[in-house]
Amino acid sequence: MKTIFRLLRWPLGQIVIFVDWITRPKIPVYAAEKRDELDVNTAKMKLYHFKQCPFCVKTRRNIRRLGLNIETRDARNDPQWNSELINDGGRYQVPCLRIVKEDGSMEWMYGSKEIIGYLDKRFG
């Protein structure tokens, strides 16, 4: 059973990516001033993710819908992001949003629901 799931995981993940691609939300266009303000704020955020993870797809779609530029970091394939997520974040789970706060401290926010709720509240 485990082997079947492993074999199906990749094609299913590709289907998720394809469906996401054909139904992508439109990126809103902001006035230059608002765009700059958003970019300054989101420069302090990084999204640790897996390309095929459905929770990450959901989170990335929300980021796109809000028109945010948040750097994504592939925590499955890139050893640096993988190790940062585990050692600094504390858990090997994606999506995870790393936020640099006003005082310079770092928050590692786990869970698609929490991340989407936070971004909606802050930028929606």
Q: What string marks each residue from 30 to 59 as x (binds ligand GSH by CB under 6 A) or -?
A: --------------------x--x-x----
Contacts of 4 (CB under 8 A, 6+ apart): none
Please name every residue paired with 47 in a beta bridge, in sequence order, or none if there are none.
Answer: 72, 97
The residue written with tokens 């509240």 in the block is: 121
Q: Does 94 bind ligand GSH (CB under 6 A)?
A: yes
Q: Does 10 bind ligand GSH (CB under 6 A)?
A: no
Pairing of strands 71-74, 106-110: unpaired
Question: From the CB of 116, what's the least distance to ligand GSH, in Å?
Answer: 9
Interface residue list for ligand GSH (CB under 6 A): 50, 53, 55, 92-95, 111-113
